[in-house]
Chains A and B, each alone.
Chain A
Amino acid sequence: KAGVTQTPRYLIKTRGQQVTLSCSPISGHRSVSWYQQTPGQGLQFLFEYFSETQRNKGNFPGRFSGRQFSNSRSEMNVSTLELGDSALYLCASSLSSSGANVLTFGAGSRLTVL
Chain B
Amino acid sequence: QQQVKQSPQSLIVQKGGISIINCAYENTAFDYFPWYQQFPGKGPALLIAIRPDVSEKKEGRFTISFNKSAKQFSLHIMDSQPGDSATYFCAASMRHSGAGSYQLTFGKGTKLSVIP
Measuring CB to CB, which residues of chain A are less than 8 angstroms from any residue of chain B?
4, 31, 33, 35, 42-45, 48, 50, 55-56, 58, 90, 92, 96, 100-108
Contacts and interface: CB of A to CB of B under 8 A. Distances in A.
A105 B41 contact: no
Interface of B: 31-32, 34, 36, 41-46, 49, 51, 89, 91, 93, 96, 99-109
B5 to A, nearest CB: 11
A107 B36 CA distance: 14
B101 A56 contact: yes
Given A43-B89, A100-B49, A101-B93, A108 B100 contact: no
B43 A48 contact: no
B32 A100 contact: yes
Contacts of A44: 106
Nearest to B44: A105
